[in-house]
Amino acid sequence: MNNTIKLAVHGAAGRMGQRVVALASGADSVDDASGFTVVGAIDHAEHPKSGQDAGVVAGLSPIEVPISAQWPDDVQVVIDFSLPEALDSCVEHCVANNLPLVIATTGLSDGQKESLAEAARTIPIVWAPSMSLAVNLSMKMAERITSALRDVAGGVDIEILERHHRFKADAPSGTALKFGELIADAMDTEQPVAHVHGREGHTGQRTRNEIGYHAIRVGDNPGEHTIVFGMLGEKIELNVAASNRDCYASGALAAAKWLMQGEAGGPKPAGMYNMFDVLGMADGQ
């Protein structure tokens, strides 16, 4: 009997979707990737690779699952790496079919974030701008450094630099924005924190209560974030960089597996979860 988790990948023909299909189909021996069978490889009906075998598209042997806009019936969990405009119908399908969902797509609108919160009343969702272990650990370190430097003499200036491949559609990255959100909370200032995106012209001096964001788009960079903590006389730079996309793909598979491991033997209860929950790094864990 086949006891593997039946997985559908939404955005399966994309850069990330292909790596999820590949790892879940056993292309490399990655612990978090074992125990899945890819039963659905969903992509846009007009995608040029529509109808082709998803394993072949991902660079493997055939897995007998075509890239298709049609959802199969036997799915148990869904991983989404697509586009903001593609996400809503995926969420609707998961809610209608009571399917646990891992959402990795970035660049969502405020309205979409509200819809996700609504969907999480019905189904369990892991939603995170980075599925990478190293990035999530770095977020915890950034919070710690921010708290430690909060009252440093002369003050600390925090700037977030991110580098990604030339094909990336959203800026700054979802990860940079999440770093900024966590750091702003850890700054714990009386004044609201200003999120400043790039600087140009006669900007005047930098204020104390701002976080700067700088988005660099170069070549095939799979994702790199540097948080600069600049003081008078010294600085700290926290740098976290992917060598390839498999850190995100294996993290998403770990999240899918975690969603399927609820206390009663079935999936986790409905709710909104993140990678801190999956990795056991949430406050109080």
Ligand X SMILES: O=C(O)C1=N[C@H](C(=O)O)C[C@H](O)C1
Ligand Y SMILES: NC(=O)C1=CN([C@@H]2O[C@H](COP(=O)(O)OP(=O)(O)OC[C@H]3O[C@@H](n4cnc5c(N)ncnc54)[C@H](O)[C@@H]3O)[C@@H](O)[C@H]2O)C=CC1
Active site residues: 164, 168
For residue 85, give the amino acid letter.
E
Buried b vs exposed e over 40-64: b needs ≥16 C-beta within 10 Å?
A: bbbbbeebebbebbbbebbebeebe
Residue 36: contacted member of ligand X, ligand Y, none (CB under 5 to 8 Å, by partner type): none
37 is in an annotated binding site: no
Q: How far is the CB of 30 from ligand Y (least distance, A)?
A: 15
Residue 125 · residue 87 · CB < 8 Å: no
Q: Which secondary structure element, helix H or strand E, spans residue 113, and what is its range?
A: helix 110-119
What's the CA gap between 134 and 147, in Å, rounded? Answer: 20
Sign of the Cα torsion 40, 46, 51, 56 reads negative
* Interface segment toward ligand X; rule CB under 6 A; list 116-124, 166-174, 190-198, 209-217: 166-174
CB of 11 to ligand X, least distance (A): 11
Residue 16 Cβ, how far from ligand X at the closest point, in Å?
Answer: 7
Asked if 104 is part of the footprint of ligand Y (rule: CB under 6 A), the reply reads yes
CB of 254 to ligand Y, least distance (A): 11
129 binds ligand X (CB under 6 A): yes
By CB under 6 A, tell whether 140 contacts ligand Y: no
173 binds ligand X (CB under 6 A): yes
Binding-site partner at residue 164 among ligand X, ligand Y, none, CB < 5 to 8 Å by type: ligand X
- The count of other CB atoms within 10 Å of the CB of residue 134 is 14
Q: What is the spatial distance between Cα 168 and Cα 195, in angstroms, rounded to a whole number?
A: 21
Residue from 168, 181, 236, 272 that binds ligand X (CB under 6 A)?
Answer: 168
CB 247 within 8 A of CB 131: yes
The full DSSP string for 169-238 is -SSS-HHHHHHHHHHHHHH--SSPPEEEE---SS--SPPTTEEEEEEEE-TT---EEEEEEE-SS-EEEE
Q: Which is nearer to ligand Y, 83 or 231 (CB)?
A: 83
163 is in an annotated binding site: no
In single-letter form, the type of residue at position 3 comes to N
Q: Which is nearer to ligand Y, 71 or 229 (CB)?
A: 71
Q: Is 105 annotated as a binding residue?
A: yes
- Please indicate if the annotation marks 62 as binding a ligand: no
Q: Within positions 209 to 228, which residues make up the interface with ligand X, using CB under 6 A?
A: 223
Task: Pick the closer one to ligand X by CB: 25 or 138.
Answer: 138
Write the CB contacts of 176 (distance below 8 Å, at least 6 apart in sequence).
160, 162, 213, 215, 225
SS3 content of the chain, % helix, strand, coil (to 5): 30, 25, 45
CB of 215 to ligand Y, least distance (A): 12
- Judged by beta carbon, residue 69 or residue 167, the one nearer ligand X is 167
- Six-digit token pair at 13? 């023909």
User: Is residue 171 annotated as involved in ligand binding?
Assistant: no
**100 forms part of the interface with ligand X (CB under 6 A):** no
Q: Which residues make up the interface to ligand Y (CB under 6 A)? A: 10-11, 13-17, 42-44, 47, 81-83, 86, 104-107, 128-131, 248
Binding residues: 11-16, 43, 104-106, 128-131, 165, 174-175
Q: Which residues make up the interface to ligand X (CB under 6 A)? A: 106, 129-130, 164, 168, 173-175, 223
